[in-house]
Structure 1
Amino acid sequence: MRARGVSFTTRLALVLALLLLGHGAFVALIGRQYAQEQAQESLQRLSHGLAQHIVAQWPEITAAGAPGSEGAEGAARKALLQMLMSVNPGVQVYLLDAAGRVQHYIGEPGMVRQNQVDLDVVRAFLTGANLPLRGTDPMGSGVPRIFSAAMFPPRPGDAQAPGYLYVVLDGTAREQVAAQLGADRLWQGIAWASLAGLLVTLALGVFTFRRLSLPLRRLATDMNGYQRREPGSALVAGTSGKRPAGDEVQALARAFGELRTRVEAHAEREHRQMADHREMLASVAHDLRTPLTALHGHLEALEQGSLHSGGPIAPPRAAVLQAALAQSRKVGRLSQQLFELAALQSGDPGLQRERFALDEVVSDAVQKFEVGHAKPPVTLQGVPPGRMELDGDLQLIERALTNLIDNAVRHAPAQQPVRVSLRREGMQAEIVIEDSGPGLPSDLQERLERGLSLREPPIKRLSGGIGGLGLAIAQRVAVLHGGSLRPLPAPGGGTRLCLLLPLAAP
């Protein structure tokens, strides 16, 4: 049995705890640096006048290097060292000459390794520059030190000050003791704070993430059950399967991958079924055309034979014969439309493209209905748009126009004409066919408004039948030419359809 992996909720809580620990360590380091800066600035401010005080209180210290003053000078330095060491063992006191070179060090001899002190920083200190200021460490540590400094009063007859008193406030001894004590307490505080933060974060994180990820776990459980259930079995909400092992997100990803495979396979099956359906319709329509043509010919021959027999045809028989001829024409037209639509919906309809005048095609289509004395009449309205050329299949464009006009003629009242207009809209041609009939069925109207196919999937009608083939052919022809067939508002009732086709480039 496979062991249960770490859940997504637990991983989130652990990541949050690690981030909190890292953030705490970063804040502690920054806080330590800031605290050191603050401590040094505070120490330097508090001890700002220390060197000046020493110079004022022990004027003997300024006699360094004067002849015959070694005894008094040594006693003064010794007394000063004892006083300073008792007050603050961490300070270091140096006597500098006018060039900043160390002349004397009040402390153990041989400790001075850097004889030259940067006087620019010392002068900045004496002129009141912003603190903290860090100067040279004569001990040679290479670390700049905070200090206090004072200039010796000039001797009588000297053109410049004889030197400076330079006091390092944070010497090596003080730094070692402060670092040891501060580091121990700091890291102890960080350790305890981190441990407490980790425990609190883990508790709150696990509780919060479990609450937030509860829908995710339920979804993972349902999808896991959906993967496992047998085809054809019912899926009951809440009992679809056991909780998936490991990460819920990974379980969802696996389930989604399997579901996508199923959907793609189902879509492929649907595509094959629709292709087989179109092929079957084309075959049936093709096979029906020959017997339907023969049947219609026999009916016409029967009608002609009855007329040439010399005797009148009985009214019931004549009515039956005319009805049979009308139904024969209707069935023949439907079989032809089925065959044409199946051919257009195939993967390669085989368009015979050529450049032709669309305005002439529209005019010829209207005239064809005028010659046939259509009831109601078909009229061409609007201002002539001039020559409009189109690159496309002339036969298909003519077939689409004929279907649209024929539909309008068959559904419009006999006293109201069918109106056809053509106009240019940029690089597109708009052919509008209007009638005063009852309007399109709601299902066809909705599909045309949304630009959906009228035949895929087929529309299921309560009354049965496969109506709308003429519109479906016109829509398919428009799509194959890069255009569309859309309904237009008809405030006065009826149907207004717009066949939109892209014009050829000049």
Structure 2
Amino acid sequence: MKRLTLTQRLSVVFALLLLACCGATAWLYVAANDQYQQEVVQQLSSDLARHIADSRALMDAEGWKPESVRTLFAQLMAVNPSVEVYLLGSDGHIEAEAAPPGRIKQSKVDLEPVRRFLDGDPLPILGVDPRHSTLRKVFSAAPIRVDGQGRGYVYVVLQGEAHDALAAKLSGSAVLRTTLLSILLVGLLGLAAGLVAFALITRPLRALTHTVRNFDGDGAAAAALYRAGDTEGRADEIAVLRRAFAQMGQRIAEQWRELTRQDQQRRDLVANISHDLRTPLTSLHGYLETLRFKDDALRRDERRRYLDIALGQSRKVSRLAQELFELARLESGLVQPDLETFALQELVQDVIQKFELAAEARRQRLITEFPRDLQPVRADLGMIERVLTNLLDNAIRHSPPGTCIQVRLGSAGQAVEVRVSDNGPGIPTALREGLFTRASALGQQHRESGGLGLVIVQRILQLHRSEIRLLDEPGQGAVFWFALPTTHSPSSA
């Protein structure tokens, strides 16, 4: 069995609710009409009991007059068979009536509605029907006075058994059927109008459902839906849902594009790493084979030179493998900075000392510039040492002999800025775009240093809520900049 869609189920629910409303309206109409009829009957016959009490002497000082009572009942039943007349004592007991034997169900009438009727309370007022144990009906009542004193009541039920029998008989008449058919027709017309209105209301929802089904990864459908929502200028719930879905679709599309870009970077990284590994491994393999097969024919100096070249290539492979392992750890999310407070200028001095011999061998000068009032920073000391090591290593490797490499620190609000610059040729424009990503960092100029140094630097600084930047400064080669929060910075708390 085919299941109904949400729109179809909502349509069925709406139709049932509309039918229920029509039924409730019809019931309220019938109930209101009955109350109206009761009010009309009671209003028109409100003086009937008083007229009976004033027109005949039903009681004297000795009590009720049986002959007058029988004559009264006979005349009233002949004139209006729908009324039922009762003579009540002052305590509400029925003293006289004209009902057939066995038809009286209650021998006493509650006088509370009678008093309300005599006090002029709003109609209709329902009182006890002696011929029914629970049914209440409209009535007319008037006190019976003898020598100015109240001795009882004339109690007239205005819609008696004859009225009920005739009403039941006419319940299937043409008039009633016409009324019910009219109510049914109005209900059906209302149902049809409601379904049409519901279809018009849910049309934007159906359009949104169609868009959701045809959602694409590039976000074109979401963007079109967002533009359509803006041009319509609607502010209802469906329009809000439309805009919310459009925004969600655009975010998903952006994330999808980002994932695609990262996947492409991963592919480029694998390809570049394969290339970087293949070159030294091929060289290493070639020299080892030479040593293996020509060992007896090689002179001592040649054998030593081959071994030095093989060791150099081995160091390149080892360094690249170490950088790959370090990058994988940083991007796994398992490594988090162990923050501590330290003087950055002291760390810079320590790192500079490690590169003094390498700089002297290339006739390069290492210069530092620190302000006196530099605040301590809060960061992972080991990670920041790795950042400075990579930047200085790159600067020494890619700067020509006789040049100057400078490390300058400065205060910038609640952070310490670090600049590492050299007098080398700088970085070509073709390599600057995406320099710190996994793909572009493996350009030809950077393969000599392993290729992943700047990528590792960027990842470490991102863990410190910072980033590495390449600045353009006239008269300088490559200028790298980053900042670290001080102990007074909110981000370091």
Counterpart of 1:192, as a letter, is L
Q: Distance in 2 between matches of 1:95 and 1:271?
A: 101
Q: 1:91 to 1:424 in 2, by over 3 A?
A: farther
Q: 1:112 to 1:289 in 2, by over 3 A?
A: same
Q: Distance in 1 between matches of 2:430 and 2:143?
A: 103
1:35 to 24, 33, 36: 33
> Which deviates further from its counterpart, 100-109 or 270-279?
270-279
SS at match of 2:63: coil
Matched ranges for 1:68-83 at <5 A: 69-83=65-79
| Displacement of 1:162 | 0.8
Unaligned stretches of 5+ residues in structure 2: 217-256, 286-311
2:131 to 139, 147, 158: 139
1:397 matched to 2:397? The reply is: no
2:58 to 51, 58, 61: 61
| Displacement of 1:99 | 0.6
SS at match of 1:93: strand
Check the 8 A contact 1:49/1:148 in 2, yes or no.
yes
Q: Distance in 1 between matches of 2:56 and 2:427?
A: 118
1:432 to 389, 408, 417: 417
Counterpart of 2:74, as a letter, is K
Check the 8 A contact 1:55/1:61 in 2, yes or no.
yes
Q: What is residue 181 of structure 2 aligned with on the other side?
A: 188
Q: How many residues align?
A: 403
Matched ranges for 1:397-476 at <5 A: 397-403=384-390, 418-421=407-410, 430-434=415-419, 454-455=437-438, 458=439, 469-476=452-459
Q: Distance in 1 between matches of 2:181 and 2:322?
A: 88
Check the 8 A contact 1:105/1:112 in 2, yes or no.
no
| Displacement of 1:113 | 0.8
Q: 1:163 to 1:289 in 2, by over 3 A?
A: farther
Counterpart of 2:370, as a letter, is L
SS at match of 1:140: coil
SS at match of 1:498: strand
Q: Distance in 2 between matches of 1:113 and 1:153?
A: 27
Q: 1:351 to 1:59 in 2, by over 3 A?
A: closer
Q: 1:200 to 1:181 in 2, by over 3 A?
A: farther
- Give the percent of matched residue pairs that are identical in Structure 1 and Structure 2: 26
Unaligned stretches of 5+ residues in structure 1: 227-265, 295-328
> Which deviates further from its counterpart, 270-279 or 361-370?
270-279
| Displacement of 1:336 | 4.1
SS at match of 1:485: coil
2:118 to 119, 126, 131: 126
Q: Distance in 1 between matches of 2:198 and 2:350?
A: 80
| Displacement of 1:214 | 6.9
Q: 1:402 to 1:189 in 2, by over 3 A?
A: same
Q: Distance in 1 between matches of 2:76 and 2:346?
A: 121
Check the 8 A contact 2:441/2:451 in 1, yes or no.
no
Q: Deviations over 1:356-413 (max 9, x none)?
A: 744146531255348748768443347444585x6x5x5333212444577799999x
Q: Deviations over 1:169-205 (max 9, x none)?
A: 3334434544665674443333333344445556x36
TM-score by length of 1: 0.58
Q: Distance in 2 between matches of 1:341 and 1:422?
A: 34
| Displacement of 1:32 | 2.3
Q: Distance in 2 between matches of 1:359 and 1:491?
A: 30
Counterpart of 1:485, as a letter, is S
| Displacement of 1:208 | 4.2
Q: What is residue 140 of structure 2 aligned with on the other side?
A: 148
Q: What is residue 233 of structure 1 aligned with on the other side?
A: none
Check the 8 A contact 1:376/1:409 in 2, yes or no.
no
Matched ranges for 1:288-437 at <5 A: 336=319, 339-346=322-329, 357-360=340-343, 363-366=346-349, 368-369=351-352, 372=356, 377-381=367-371, 383-386=373-376, 388=378, 394-403=381-390, 418-421=407-410, 430-434=415-419
Check the 8 A contact 2:330/2:460 in 1, yes or no.
no
| Displacement of 1:41 | 2.9
Q: What is residue 301 of structure 1 aligned with on the other side?
A: none
Matched ranges for 1:148-167 at <5 A: 148-155=140-147, 161-167=150-156
Counterpart of 1:189, as a letter, is S
Q: 1:168 to 1:180 in 2, by over 3 A?
A: same
| Displacement of 1:100 | 0.8
| Displacement of 1:433 | 2.4
Matched ranges for 1:108-119 at <5 A: 108-119=100-111
